[in-house]
Each structure stands twice: as structure tokens, then as C-alpha cells.
Amino acid sequence: MKKLLLFVIIFPLFNSLSAQNLKTFINYNTFCTDKLEPYVELTFLINGRSVNYVLNENQKYQAEIEIKVEFQKDDSVVNNLHYIILSDEYQDTILANKQNFADIQNVKLPNGKYFLNFEIKDLHNPENPVKYIDNLEVYFPENKVSSSGIQLLREIKPANENDFFIKYGYSMPPLYDDYIPERMEILPYMTEIYNTDKVLGENNQFLVKSHIENYGNQYNYFTPISVFNEFKSAPITVFVNQLDIKSLPSGNYNLVVELMTSDSTVLAYNSIFFQRSNPKIQLEISNF
């Protein structure tokens, strides 16, 4: 799943990967710091029932997952990530009790085109590592409006001390794939917007339009879903929103976010693909 953005070119991925027993989800996207320095945020979610547990020095059972990521540019390694994720400790090895475990890492990368090389290995079953490759292009212009990639979320709620996926004071766990089941009637999402103060001047109004568009569904009629939000220009604007999709029929769609001036001049455009399953909504032939 690769979506080309106009001013920020990102490839947000939500992938489930496995190599026999080991199952892991990878979610990565590109953002900027408050100094507008680009970085890649990587989230790894490990299926707790797919890994091997051994006794540690505390005489408890624990899994160890090795993460390796290389960021290559022009056949040279520009940056890399290499560390170990530890599971919780358990008194026994009953698989039914094992919880998923996750980790988030940020890696700074200057603007450019990169080749990403992933290797994820269960250190207690090293013969079957998960390997994955992809391309990534990062482009945050200094004097143009741009945005991070759109992050689809499972939910948005006030954070507490036990939450892992905390941003801006809220718990916002990512949606790790592009499949949205029937039980999800609300689609939460977020993105960050940069440089509107440089382009529009300080404290000037701009609009964020969010809408869902058809993606390759030949016979799919649905009521348009579109919302506008108004903001004042700033170095960084955090945009967190959600759309009501309980009446959205099954099919393939794009969630589109457009940034525009008050006179509807488009400043930047961003989209992300998702697949909706909603069998309770039956399409009428008269709508075609």
C-alpha cells in the first residue's frame, strides 16, 4: 500500500508479516520535529503467541525479538536501527496467557529517497527471521505547506499511565492494516501539518477538508462523506479527527485530506487507502 503525497511524499505502511511462528506488524510513517527536522516513526507489534519463551535470570519466561532496519541511499547505509524488544515476564509458557508487545522508535532522516531493509528475528528461534524491503521518499520543503502521512487509528481516548500509544495526551493506537471491519463504525485518523505560518502569515485561517473517495469499485454507490475543519496558521498543526463510516458499504476507498486557503486554493493533498467490510449495508440496484 503506497500513497504518493503532493508536498510530503510518504509511504505509510501497515503490514502483517510472518515467518512460520513469528508474526509481527510494522507501521511506519514520516513526521517532523518542532524544529522541522524529518524523522521516521516506526512501530513494531509482536504477536505474543507466535514467539518462543525461555527462562531468564529472574527464573521467569520471556521472549526476545531482535529488530534490524537499514536505511540505504545510493547504495550506502545512511542510518540504521538495531535493538532487542523484550516481552513481559511469565511464570509459565501457556500460550493462552501471552500478550502482544510493542515498541516505538524514531529515526532521523534528511529529505531524500531511501531503500528500507527490515529483519525481525526471534532470538530463541533464529532460523526463521521475518525479512521485508520497501522504498521510502521523504520530502519536507522549508518554505511550503506540507504534512505527515495520514495515520489510521483504532481509537482515540484520553490516555492513562498504562497506555502505550500516547500522543498529544491521548491514547491513539494505530490501525496496523488497511482493513476496517464491520464492528468499526467510526474511523479515527491523524496527521501533522507544517509551515502554514510561513506561507499564509501568522494567525491566518486555513481549512482542512477530509473526505472518502471510491477506489476502483465499479458498482459502488455511497453517500459522500466530507467534513471541513478550520485552523489558524502555525509552525505545526496537529489534526486529529474521525469520520462516521457505519453506512459506508463494503469496498475499497481512499481517505483524502486536503489543506486549502479560505478561498479554496489547495496547499497540499494527502491520501491513504483502506478496505471496508460492511455486509449489513446492501447496495440497491437503483443507485447504480
pLDDT at 9 over 60: no
pLDDT at 10 over 90: no
Give the predicted TM-score (pTM) of the model: 0.84
Contact predicate 11/134, CB 8 Å: yes
C-alpha cell at 95: 500460550
As a whole-number percent, the residues of the chain with pLDDT over 70 amount to: 89
Q: What pLDDT score was predicted for residue 222? A: 73
Which residues, other chains included, contact 91 with Cβ-Cβ below 8 Å and sequence gap of 6+?
60, 61
Average per-residue pLDDT in the chain? Answer: 87
Q: What pLDDT score was predicted for residue 2? A: 37
In which band, very low, low, confident or very high, does the pLDDT at 3 lie, cut at 50, 70 and 90?
Answer: very low
Q: What pLDDT score was predicted for residue 283? A: 63
C-alpha cell at 107: 529515526
Q: What pLDDT score was predicted for residue 216? A: 80
C-alpha cell at 128: 526463521
* Cα 173 to Cα 148: distance, rounded to the nearest angstrom: 17
Contact predicate 213/222, CB 8 Å: no
Going by C-alpha positions, the residue among 88, 35, 101, 100 that lies closest to residue 61 is: 88
Mean pLDDT of 64-81: 95
Residues in the chain: 288
Q: What pLDDT score was predicted for residue 287? A: 54
In which band, very low, low, confident or very high, does the pLDDT at 6 lie, cut at 50, 70 and 90?
Answer: very low
Beta-bridge mates of residue 110: none
Span 208-249, pLDDT tens digits: 999 999 888 766 667 778 899 999 999 999 999 999 999 999
As a whole-number percent, the residues of the chain with pLDDT over 90 amount to: 69
Mean pLDDT of 199-216: 93
Mean pLDDT of 150-169: 89
Mean pLDDT of 62-87: 95
Contact predicate 177/16, CB 8 Å: yes
- Looking at residue 179, the DSSP 8-state letter turns out to be E
Q: How many CB atoms lie within 10 A of CB 2?
A: 12
Going by C-alpha positions, the residue among 228, 235, 234, 236 that lies closest to residue 259 is: 228
pLDDT at 119 over 80: yes
Q: What pLDDT score was predicted for residue 5? A: 31
C-alpha cell at 56: 531468564
In which band, very low, low, confident or very high, does the pLDDT at 177 lie, cut at 50, 70 and 90?
Answer: confident
Q: What pLDDT score was predicted for residue 129? A: 92
